[in-house]
Chains A and B, each alone.
Chain A
Amino acid sequence: MNNAAIKETAGSVKLGQVKKIRSKRWETPVTGYLFLSPWLIGFLLLTLGPMIMSLYYSFTDYSLLAAPNWVGFDNYKQIFTDDDVFPKSLKITITFVLLTVPLRLMFALCIAMLLNRKMKGMSFYRTMVYFPSLIGTSIAVSILWKNIFSRNGFINDFLGIFGIKGPAWIADPKYALGTLIILMVWQFGSSMIIFLAGLKQIPTDLYEASSVDGAGKFRQFVSVTLPMLSPIILFNAVQTMINTFQMFTQSFVITNGGPVKSTFVYVMYLYEEAFTKFHMGYASALAWILLILIGLFAAVLFGTSKYWVFYENQGGKK
């Protein structure tokens, strides 16, 4: 190799390096941040800032009327050791979540499978089934529920036909939470639509191959549908769990936390502390405990997911 050639290669290597470095530079740093600015300002001002403030308030006795005084861990200590309402509302909320989430997902999946057929009229059925979810958390639907499950509401009239004397539902501490769970389960529409989209993506040859191997309908459901759908089940479970933890309007309007605080869910307690008693510091501590609680539930779902969520592109590792 002669000198000239070496020089040339060296030169081209250098040129290549320069090009590489150039391409590493950002093309549009200023324009990028200009376009991003609404969200970035919003994030700093309305999310991150308030989060830090909320954490700070949780260590103070802030009450909106007087300036905050630092009290260390007193709020947390009081919540965990000297607060009768906290464990009760926590228990109610966790019961509520543990019952609502699986029931809602189960219904959503079953109906999605019924709807996942190539038949005429499917969009009509889908509309009917989705309709209750459309009116979601509005106050209107809470009013309807309050009426349906009242002592003389239509549920009891319906039961009366069969000679069953229904309880007072909303006025009965044993059943009040149940009526809220039924409401939440009734509105499974959005999870169902996501399941439906997931079911449509499962390749049909998997079903054909398994039926050639002699798998029945149930076996196909367990060995094909569930594994293929598991990432979506995880997504829906996390989503539903987070929403269920934050349920407020329904219990506020239908039962107002009662009777005897049997539906006094966590967020209602938080609301009462913050906005009727103006215990902003105490309420902030409650909010952070809620955040950690939701985080724990999410961690359990994600942490166990490697045992039950199946990702196709990982070479079929289950």
Chain B
Amino acid sequence: MKLYKSSFNHISLLIVSLIMMYPIFWWVGASLKTNEEMSSANLFPKVPHWANFSEGWVSTPNFTFTHFYLNTFELILGVLFTSIVACSLVAFAFARLDFPLRNFWFAIMLVTLMLPTQVTVVPQYVMFSKWGWINTYLPFYIPHLLAGGIGGPFFIYLLVQFMRSVPKELDEAAKIDGCSWFGIYWRIMLPLVKPALVTVAIYCFLWNWDDFFGQMLYINSINHYTINLALKLFIDSQGSVPWGQLLAMSLCSIVPSVVIFFLAQRHFVEGMSAGALKG
């Protein structure tokens, strides 16, 4: 009876997994199909058409996807660095320091967590364009440097939760030894919340990698295009869509996210649940 039950569980989970993953498998298969084969129901083509990848990679006149990849990494690495520095500093203030209106500001920060971006996007755009930031990556770097941007308040919240669980005796001991607050932050807190910082880095990477709206708004010369924008250009510029190449390139565009996901699965689940449960 028990064996019967557990195999029933396995079969149902296997079916669910298969349904969920089928479009992905199909994606991989279709990226190797020629345009004629595209509408056949076979998952994989008889002869893989690797040219989709090589031709897709150089399909944009004057630019290759290598260029777009490097652009995207330039954008993301800057955002990652600024985000981690700023959010950990602010989280330390909320978790450890004692200053007037602390709880008030914390509450405000939680409210901004739920604020739809549409309410601020128009004035932000006006501001950034007045400052000549259009077509640079500053509209991404600066908000993250100010602990905002995509996911900012969430990261602060996450780090506060982790920092609160670090025993206070540690910073008191350091204080007696004459350590400054910055020293406590830098030498004690940061090494201890490293797992949380990794979680923040992962989400920051994924969410910014996926963000299309912001990139479309602020970047308009091909020279600075990210992968997302290059893909959109690819769809728009072709009369009849070369599906094989398009799917091949879009598959390439998710490779970094997938690699990170498999390398850091544990952090992934922890971060997501911490957001909901520890609060």
Q: Report A's interface with B, CB cutoff 8 A.
A: 26-33, 35-36, 38-43, 45-47, 49-51, 53-54, 57, 64, 111, 114-115, 117, 119, 121, 123, 125-129, 131-132, 134-141, 143-144, 147-148, 152-154, 157-158, 160-161, 186, 190, 193-194, 196-198, 201, 232, 235-236, 238, 242, 245-246, 248-249, 252-253, 267, 270-271, 274-275, 280, 283-284, 286-288, 290-291, 294, 298
B263 close to A (CB within 8 Å): no
Chain B min CB distance to A19 (Å): 16
Chain A min CB distance to B265 (Å): 7
Nearest A residue to B276 by beta-carbon distance? A194
Known: A35-B97, A114-B12, A125-B17. A157 touches B122 (CB 8 A): no
8 residue pairs, one from A and one from B, having the closest CB atoms: A32-B99, A42-B146, A197-B273, A35-B93, A140-B250, A128-B17, A50-B123, A53-B123
Alpha-carbon separation in the docked complex, A119 to B21 (Å): 21
Q: Which of B40, B97, B115, B207 contacts A47 (CB 8 A)?
A: B115
Q: Which of B39, B235, B250, B254 contacts A153 (CB 8 A)?
A: B39
B185 close to A (CB within 8 Å): yes
B41 touches A160 (CB 8 A): yes
- Name which of B39, B108, B217, B276 has the most chain A CB atoms within 10 A of its CB: B276
Q: Which of A26, A274, A280 contacts B99 (CB 8 A)?
A: A26
Apart from the given pairs A28-B98, A46-B146, 12 other A-B contacts in the complex at a CB distance below 8 Å: A28-B99, A35-B89, A40-B105, A54-B120, A54-B122, A119-B9, A137-B212, A139-B231, A139-B232, A140-B231, A147-B243, A194-B273
Task: List 10 interface pairs A-B (beta carbons < 8 Å), by A numbering.
Answer: A28-B97, A39-B109, A50-B123, A64-B126, A111-B16, A119-B9, A135-B254, A138-B257, A147-B243, A197-B277
B269 close to A (CB within 8 Å): yes
B102 close to A (CB within 8 Å): yes
Q: Which of A35, A123, A132, A134 contacts B23 (CB 8 A)?
A: A132
Alpha-carbon separation in the docked complex, A270 to B217 (Å): 13
Report B-chain residues with C-beta under 8 Å of the C-beta of A127: 262, 265
Report A-chain residues with C-beta under 8 Å of the C-beta of B40: 157
List residues of B (183-228) whose CB comes within 8 Å of A's CBs: 185, 206-207, 209-213, 217, 228
B44 close to A (CB within 8 Å): no
Report A-chain residues with C-beta under 8 Å of the C-beta of B89: 35, 38
Q: What secondary structure prevails in chain A residues at the interface with B?
A: helix
Q: What per-residue 1/0 map shows which CB atoms of B110-151 lie under 8 Å from chain A?
A: 001011111111111111010000000000000101111000
List residues of B (243-269) whose CB comes within 8 Å of A's CBs: 243, 246-247, 250-251, 253-254, 257-258, 261-262, 265, 269
Report A-chain residues with C-beta under 8 Å of the C-beta of B115: 47, 291
Alpha-carbon separation in the docked complex, A190 to B154 (Å): 14
Report B-chain residues with C-beta under 8 Å of the C-beta of A271: 213
Q: Which of A39, A128, A280 contacts B21 (CB 8 A)?
A: A128
Report A-chain residues with C-beta under 8 Å of the C-beta of B276: 194, 197-198, 232, 235-236
Chain B min CB distance to A289 (Å): 10
Chain A min CB distance to B14 (Å): 8
Report A-chain residues with C-beta under 8 Å of the C-beta of B213: 248-249, 271
Q: Which of B20, B39, B125 contacts A132 (CB 8 A)?
A: B20
Alpha-carbon separation in the docked complex, A140 to B227 (Å): 9
Alpha-carbon separation in the docked complex, A114 to B8 (Å): 11
A117 touches B9 (CB 8 A): yes
B69 close to A (CB within 8 Å): no
Report B-chain residues with C-beta under 8 Å of the C-beta of A242: 114, 116
B10 touches A249 (CB 8 A): no
Alpha-carbon separation in the docked complex, A120 to B108 (Å): 44
